[in-house]
Amino acid sequence: MGLFDFRDVNKRKKKKDRVIIACTPSGILINDTPISFPTNYTILKNILGEASRIEPIKQTKNNVYLWDDLGIYCSTADAQKMLMILLVEDNRYGLGHQPKSNFTGIVTIDDKPIAENIQNVSQDRPYMIRSINKENNQVAIALGWNPGI
């Protein structure tokens, strides 16, 4: 970064936006935009911006889409059929390819914090939501396609 780069709008560091995910009985909103699974990269890019990195997973056809500043990860073989996103809250646990920063957004289920209401999510919702725990700590939240529907 050069001394006078602050004058060039394109070279300024962008403010980190907060991601707000609201899960309701009928669907999911990410930053007030409805989303359903499977989704695709174009939809996520319109909501979250360009992925910081897109990396191949060795010996597979999958790519990993990482939003490093937001703490969000998605792995898929087809960018037109993304089945799940992972919100990484603690990247010290080595969940494979992972964003450089932790997810600091807000996730609610039926207008309550996820910790208070995740146990009330029934299997008949059009999406699945799971808490991923390591050593009794929630380290990530998986949000995606419900194969039972």
Residue 3 has a pLDDT of 58
Alpha helices, H only, the chain: 41-48, 114-117
Residue 126 has a pLDDT of 95
Residue 12 has a pLDDT of 47
101 exposed, middle or buried (CB, 10 Å; 0-12, 13-18, 19+)?
middle
Residue 77 has a pLDDT of 95
pLDDT in tens, 21-43: 999 999 999 999 999 999 999 99
Q: Please give the model's pTM, rounded to 2 decimal places.
A: 0.85
How confident is the model over 92-109, as a mean pLDDT? 88
